[in-house]
């Protein structure tokens, strides 16, 4: 035990990998080892080096963001009958708002004259401006016409029960989309609507930096993950570029499978 070295831990990691344990499970093993040696040092006062360095942790795979297919969008929205819910979901789909940003949206943040919304204190405590499409503006206006007269500044309110008239919570919005997802048969979450907007913009050849600004991403690397999903744009870019290459060398550019 006391003679264990980093090389021993690395061999142990290889052993766990051979047993086909997941990176997350292996990292859990390393945390236990690291904690045990920390205990020996802090509680037992043994002069030992911790062989399970934090840098040994395996990198966890990050699942790609999922988006709705174009054909699923009308199927989902067909069952959304409440003006409030339609407006909330359209702000996610067309403006790229996070569910927390929808819940915290205030009346004074909406600028209909300029067709834009000021998102205050978004993720990372950053402010940003997003723009409102015509259909999202119509959905929001339809809700605001029905919204009860109140001094409450938050836009979206609870409509029934003991909390009627109070701002709807993040979990309340999530429960509404879960309800409609089940009713429509379209698997969808609040964040998927936001991912769908990003993917659609990219497929429509919007600049990556523009999408980064609209979504409020701190790093362009986060936004670049959508490139892996944007097969339509990748396909167009490929054929456009490869056509130029082949025309340059005088090769027939008529595409199609040849038997």
Q: What is the DSSP letter of 135?
A: H
| 120 flagged as catalytic | no
The mean pLDDT value for 123-149 works out to: 90
| 112 flagged as catalytic | no
What's the pLDDT band for 124 if we cut at 50, 70, 90?
low
Whether 172 contacts 67, CB under 8 Å: no
Return the bridge partners of 167, or none.
157
* pTM of the full structure: 0.69
Give 130's contacts (C-beta < 8 A, 6+ positions apart). 95, 96, 97, 116, 117, 119, 214
Catalytic residue among 120, 123, 128, 147, which? Answer: 123
| 226 flagged as catalytic | yes
Where along the chain do the CATH 1.10.443.10 domains lie?
A: 72-232
| 194 flagged as catalytic | yes
Catalytic residue among 98, 104, 176, 233, which? Answer: 98
| 244 flagged as catalytic | no
pLDDT in tens, 51-105: 777 777 877 766 655 788 889 999 999 999 999 999 999 999 999 999 999 999 9
Catalytic residue among 94, 194, 195, 233, which? Answer: 194
Q: How many CA atoms lie within 13 A of 132 on its CB side?
A: 24
Cα torsion through 148, 152, 155, 159, rounded to 10 = -50
Number of Cβ within 10 Å of residue 168's Cβ equals 21
pLDDT in tens, 243-256: 887 787 766 655 55
| 98 flagged as catalytic | yes
Catalytic residue among 83, 104, 176, 217, which? Answer: 217
The CATH architecture to which 72-232 belongs is Orthogonal Bundle (1.10)
* pLDDT for the residue 28: 86
């Amino acid at each position: 035990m006391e003679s264990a070295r980093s090389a021993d831990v690395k061999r142990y990691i290889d052993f766990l990998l051979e047993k086909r344990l997941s990176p997350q499970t292996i990292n859990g093993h390393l945390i236990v080892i690291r904690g045990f040696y920390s205990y020996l040092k802090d509680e037992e006062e043994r002069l030992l080096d911790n062989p399970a360095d934090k840098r040994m942790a395996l990198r966890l795979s990050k699942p790609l963001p999922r988006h709705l297919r174009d054909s699923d969008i009308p199927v989902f929205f067909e069952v959304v009958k409440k003006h409030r819910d339609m407006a909330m979901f359209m702000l996610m789909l067309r403006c790229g708002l996070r569910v927390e940003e929808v819940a915290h949206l205030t009346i004074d943040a909406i600028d209909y004259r300029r067709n834009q919304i000021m998102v205050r204190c978004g993720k990372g405590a950053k402010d940003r401006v997003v723009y409102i499409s015509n259909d999202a503006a119509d959905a929001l206006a339809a809700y605001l016409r029905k919204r009860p007269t109140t001094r409450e500044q938050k836009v979206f309110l609870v409509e029934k029960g003991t909390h009627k008239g109070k701002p709807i919570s993040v979990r309340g919005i999530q429960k509404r989309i879960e309800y409609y997802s089940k009713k429509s048969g379209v698997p969808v979450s609040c964040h998927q609507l936001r991912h769908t907007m990003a993917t659609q913009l990219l497929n429509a050849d919007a600049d990556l930096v523009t999408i980064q600004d609209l979504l409020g991403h701190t790093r362009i690397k986060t936004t670049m993950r959508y490139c892996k999903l944007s097969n339509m744009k990748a396909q167009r870019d490929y054929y456009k570029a490869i056509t130029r290459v082949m025309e340059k060398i005088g090769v027939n550019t008529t595409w199609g499978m040849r038997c």
